[in-house]
């Protein structure tokens, strides 16, 4: 059987393209669909954690648990929408929005001190102590003019992260 | 196979550093003072994760690539239908008959030999070997195997092991029809398992169970004993440990390469012109796979017996394994990827995540020093 999949119609492609704000070309959407069908092993129409974790490169990523919460159960349209932040056509605001969502998992629009600490814990593991993490974070927040108790909003993130070196692009392989 | 459990750290020690193969980490090397944005910017990790979601070299190894459809127009389609009728209506029943005849001959001869020649071990062994070879030829005939063998036939000498790339269980049958190998295989359930415990034991095959950790030592010991024996059949090992789609090779396990024996590489390449011989064990059972082969026109493949290799002084077993893998991959036109085949069944160990964490933590702490 292998990678036989139901073909996308032109209507489907256009619908998905609109849904992701035209950040992917039609060819890229077809490639992404092939990939989606490959990951969705029993053709349920959505991908589950198990299937995503079977990609060893993903399972090795320190942020895999957080990302799994965002990607688990996505159907194809949402899958493309999630990945659209990584398109070369996405502007920096769209990319920072995704970064914000990674921190703000509960979706209340606020990123607290402990939220950032959680992400830092994922990224540094046992190679930094909890005290070191808190110290570094408090120090840098103060330096940037934020109180430890205040929460960061999306606009704060945009202000902090909007700089030319921010690169977050992935190329979709197209046959 | 839907339960993925995390692997023991043993597995990580088996292979060369994956970091050498993966694209370089995009963690920015900078000696500037640390700012808030450096701490909050998770874009490198996110980019890597998205890259893995979109395409990864591991999944590519197990993807069945369907051949190009050729029956897409008005005169080709009826031709194809005609072909289907012949394949399913004429060829398939003929092949089933061949197989049944083969089984009858084999089973009756095999079990009578078991009884009649009980005391005469040497003769028993010779005849059993011949019978197994014969049965394998029947199998190959049942899918109209067109196999071209290149290179000198394997000789029966002690202290040598044969290694080959693995695409399907039929690899073993194709090789066995030429030479009576003693193969190391995963113990399977069902009729295959029954065959394994009765018939194949007589040619000296050794079984293992992937899911049992202690099993490795037992198998290693059995292997060593077998290789020392003069009269035993030459050992055949598939060091990849799992079936790969015949376009790539995954990392070889070092077990076969640390026995102190000569390693004779065998390269197998299937021609997908009539059927794709890759057994995607996640998608179909072996029986279904066999049926698919038996209803296609032919199974075409090339087998190359390559020059025997010895471990060079100063070469570790892992380097030796990789060198032999390269010889096989080059001959069969396969691409090498740096993954352990067992990742099909379990998740990668924490070592790699920890490495990334270490790099990031150290860079943060270092830049904190810079004032």
Give the ipTM: 0.91
A55 to B58: CB separation less than 8 angstroms, yes or no: yes
How close does chain A come to B120, measured CA to CA in Å?
49
Report whether B364 contacts A125 (CB < 8 A): no
Reading the block at residue B155, the tokens are: 């000789």
Which of A59, A93, A146 should be substituted to probe chain B, the one whose Cβ sees the most B Cβ atoms within 10 Å?
A: A59
Q: Using the predicted structure, report yes or no on whether residue B109 has a pLDDT greater than 60.
A: yes
Query: Which distant-in-sequence residues (6+ apart) come within 8 Å of A78 by Cβ?
Result: none
First-last CA distance in chain A: 20
pLDDT of residue A163: 83
Chain B residues touching A2 at Cβ < 8 A: 63-66, 276, 280, 283
Distance CA B308, CA B263 (A): 6
pLDDT at position A33, please? 93
End-to-end CA distance of chain B: 53
pLDDT for residue B22:
54
Reading the block at residue B280, the tokens are 């995607």
Q: Is the model's pLDDT at A2 over the cut of 70? A: no
Per-residue model confidence as pLDDT tens digits over A118-141: 999 999 989 989 999 999 999 989
Query: What angle (nearest 5°) sits at the alpha carbon of residue B173, between those of residues B328 and B317?
Result: 35
Does B361 sit within 8 Å of A127, measured CB to CB? yes
Q: Nearest Cβ partner of B45 from A32, A50, A123?
A: A123
The number of beta carbons lying within 10 Å of the beta carbon of residue A1 is: 11
Which tops the pLDDT comparison, B130 or B214?
B130
The number of residues in chain B equals: 371
How open is the CA angle A11-A14-A18, to the nearest 5 degrees? Answer: 140
Which one of A24, A61, A80, A130 would you mutate to disrupt binding with B, by most B Cβ within 10 Å of its Cβ? A61
Q: How confident is the model at residue B224 (pLDDT cuts 50, 70, 90)?
A: confident
Model confidence band, residue B174 (pLDDT cutoffs 50, 70, 90): very high
Nearest CA in chain B to A152: B40
- Alpha helix ranges (H) inside B117-189: 121-142, 170-176
Work out the pLDDT band at B8, boundaries 50, 70, 90. Answer: very low
**The pair of three-digit structure tokens given for residue B156, joined into one six-digit string:** 């029966």
Contact A126 B357 (CB under 8 A): yes
Residue of A nearest to B364 (CA): A136
Least Cα distance to B54 among A8, A59, A170 occurs for: A170
Which pLDDT score is estimated for B1?
Answer: 34
Which contacts of B217-222 are long-range, i.e. CB under 8 A and separated by 24 or more positions?
B219/B184, B219/B255, B220/B255
pLDDT greater than 70 at residue B5: no
Q: For residues B123 and B334, give the distance between their C-alpha atoms in angstroms, rounded to a whole number.
A: 41
Whether A155 shows a pLDDT value over 70: the answer reads yes
Minimal Cα–Cα distance from A35 to chain B, Å? 7
Q: In this predicted structure, what is the pLDDT of residue A4? A: 41
How does residue B348 score in pLDDT terms, banded at 50, 70 and 90? confident
Q: In the predicted model, what is the mean pLDDT of chain A?
A: 89
For residue B308, the 8-state DSSP code is: P
**Which residues is B248 bridged to in the sheet?**
B335
CA closest to A132 among chain B residues: B365
With 90 as the cut, is the pLDDT of residue A63 above it? yes
Would you call A101 exposed, middle or buried from its count of C-beta atoms within 10 A (0-12, 13-18, 19+)? middle
Tell me, letter by letter, the H, E, C secondary structure of chain A: CCCCCCCCCHHHHHHHHHHCCCCCCHHHHHHHHHHHHHHCCCCCCECCHHHHHCCHHHHCCCCHHHHHHHHCCCEHHHHHHHHHHHCCCCCHHHHHHHHHHHHCCCCCCCECHHHHHHHHHHHHHHHCCHHHHHHHHHHHHHHCCCCCCCCECHHHHHHHHCCCCCCCCCCCCCC
pLDDT band at B26 (very low <50, low <70, confident <90, very high): very low
Model confidence at B2, pLDDT cuts 50, 70, 90, reads very low
Confidence of residue B162 (pLDDT cuts 50, 70, 90): very high
Looking at residues A104-117, what average pLDDT do you find? Answer: 90
Q: Considering just the CA atoms, what is the radius of gyration of chain B in Å?
A: 24
User: Hey, is the C-beta of A59 within 8 angstroms of any chain B C-beta?
Assistant: yes
What gap in Å lies between CA B356 and CA B227, rounded to an integer? 42
In the numeric block, the tokens 């067109």 are attached to B146
* Nearest-10 crossing angle of helices B121-142, B92-116: 170
Residue B246: C-alpha distances to residues A118, A169, B251, B297 (Å): 43, 31, 14, 19
pLDDT category at B167 given cuts 50, 70, 90 is very high
Residue among A3, A63, A86 whose CB faces B66 most closely: A3
| Bridge partners of residue B31, in order along the sequence | none
Q: At what angle do helices B286-294 and B190-198 cross, to 10 degrees?
A: 90
Q: Report the pLDDT averaged over residues B168-191.
A: 86
Residue B349: pLDDT over 50: yes
pLDDT band at B279; cut points 50, 70, 90: confident
Contact A165 B50 (CB under 8 A): no
Q: Are A86 and B50 a contacting pair at CB < 8 A?
A: yes
Q: What angle do CA A50, B246, B166 make, to 5 degrees?
A: 85
Q: What is the mean pLDDT of chain B?
A: 83
Q: How far apart are CA A97 and CA A92, in angstroms?
A: 9
- List of chain B residues whose C-beta atoms are within 8 Å of the C-beta of residue A50: 2, 4
Q: How far apart are CA A59 and CA A41, in angstroms?
A: 17
Q: Which residue has the higher pLDDT, B69 or B160?
A: B160
Q: Which helix (H) or strand (E) holds B355?
A: helix B351-369
Is residue B270 over pLDDT 90? yes
Residue B239 pLDDT: 92
Interface of A with B in 92-111 (CB under 8 A): 95, 98-99, 102-103
Q: What percent of chain B has pLDDT over 70?
A: 91
Shortest CB distance from A144 goes to which of B36, B343, B360? Answer: B36
pLDDT in tens, B294-325: 998 999 999 999 999 999 998 899 999 999 99
What pLDDT does residue B155 have? 82
The pLDDT, as a whole number, for residue B4 is 39
Residue B3 confidence (pLDDT) above 60? no
Residue A1, pLDDT > 70, answer no
* Mean pLDDT of the region B178-189: 84
Q: What pLDDT band is residue B9 in, cutting at 50, 70 and 90?
A: very low
Is the pLDDT at B364 greater than 90, yes or no?
no
Q: Global pTM? A: 0.79
User: Are the beta carbons of B356 and A52 separated by less than 8 Å?
Assistant: no
Taking CB atoms and an 8 Å cutoff, what residues of chain B touch A167? 26, 43, 47
Average pLDDT over residues A39-47: 88
What average pLDDT does this structure show over B139-151?
91
Structure confidence at residue B129 (pLDDT): 85
pLDDT in tens, B34-52: 888 888 889 999 999 999 9
Tell me whether residues A124 and B276 touch, CB distance under 8 A. Answer: no
Is the pLDDT at B147 greater than 90? The verdict is yes
Mean per-residue pLDDT, B142-166: 89
Contact B63, A37 (CB under 8 A): no
Write down the pLDDT at residue B21.
54
Q: Please give, rounded to a whole number of angstroms, the shortest distance from the CA of B366 to a CA of chain A.
A: 12
């Amino acid at each position: 059987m292998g990678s036989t999949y139901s073909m996308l119609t032109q209507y489907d492609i256009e619908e998905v393209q609109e849904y992701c704000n035209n950040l992917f070309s039609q060819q890229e959407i077809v490639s992404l669909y092939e990939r989606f069908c490959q990951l969705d092993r029993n053709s349920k129409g959505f991908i589950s954690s198990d299937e995503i974790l079977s990609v060893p490169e993903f399972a090795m990523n320190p942020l895999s648990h957080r990302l799994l919460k965002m990607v688990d159960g996505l159907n194809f349209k949402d899958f493309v929408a999630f990945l659209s932040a990584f398109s070369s056509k996405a502007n920096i605001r769209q990319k920072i929005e995704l970064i914000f969502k990674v921190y703000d998992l509960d979706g209340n629009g606020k990123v607290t001190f402990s939220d950032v600490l959680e992400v830092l814990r994922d990224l540094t593991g046992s190679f930094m102590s909890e005290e070191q993490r808190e110290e570094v974070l408090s120090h840098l927040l103060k330096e940037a003019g934020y109180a430890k108790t205040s929460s960061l909003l999306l606009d704060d993130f945009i202000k902090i992260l909007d700089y030319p070196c921010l690169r977050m692009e992935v190329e979709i392989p197209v046959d | 196979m839907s339960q993925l459990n995390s692997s023991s750290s043993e597995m990580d020690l088996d292979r060369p550093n994956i970091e050498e193969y993966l694209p370089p980490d995009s963690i920015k090397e900078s000696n500037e003072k640390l700012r808030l944005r450096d701490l909050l910017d998770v874009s490198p990790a996110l980019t890597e994760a998205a890259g893995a979601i979109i395409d990864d070299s591991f999944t590519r190894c197990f993807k069945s690539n369907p051949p190009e459809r050729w029956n897409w127009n008005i005169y080709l389609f009826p031709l194809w239908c005609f072909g289907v009728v012949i394949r399913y209506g004429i060829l398939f029943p003929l092949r089933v008959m061949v197989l049944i005849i083969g089984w009858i001959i084999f089973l009756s001869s095999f079990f009578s030999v078991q009884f009649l020649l009980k005391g005469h071990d040497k003769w028993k062994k010779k005849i059993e070997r011949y019978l197994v070879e014969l049965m394998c030829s029947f199998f190959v005939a049942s899918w109209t195997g067109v196999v071209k063998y290149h290179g000198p036939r394997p000789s029966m000498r002690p202290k040598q092991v044969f290694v080959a790339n693995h695409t399907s269980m039929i690899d073993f049958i194709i090789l066995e029809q030429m030479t009576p190998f003693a193969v190391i295989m995963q113990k399977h359930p069902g009729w295959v398992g029954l065959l394994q415990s009765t018939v194949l034991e007589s040619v000296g095959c050794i079984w293992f169970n992937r899911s049992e950790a202690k099993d490795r030592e037992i198998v290693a010991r059995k292997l060593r004993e077998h290789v020392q024996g003069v009269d035993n059949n030459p050992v055949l090992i598939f060091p990849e440990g799992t079936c790969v789609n015949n376009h790539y090779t995954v990392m070889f396990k070092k077990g076969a390469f640390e026995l102190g024996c000569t390693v004779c590489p065998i390269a197998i390449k299937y021609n997908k012109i009539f059927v794709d011989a890759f057994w995607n064990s996640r998608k179909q059972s072996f029986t279904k796979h066999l049926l698919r082969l038996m209803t296609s026109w032919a199974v075409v493949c090339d087998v190359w017996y390559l020059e025997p290799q010895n471990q060079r002084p100063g070469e570790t077993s892992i380097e030796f394994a990789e060198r032999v893998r390269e010889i096989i991959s080059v001959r069969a036109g396969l691409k090498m990827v740096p993954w352990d085949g067992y990742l099909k069944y379990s998740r990668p160990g924490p070592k790699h995540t920890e490495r990334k964490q270490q790099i990031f933590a150290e860079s943060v702490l270092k830049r904190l020093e810079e004032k």
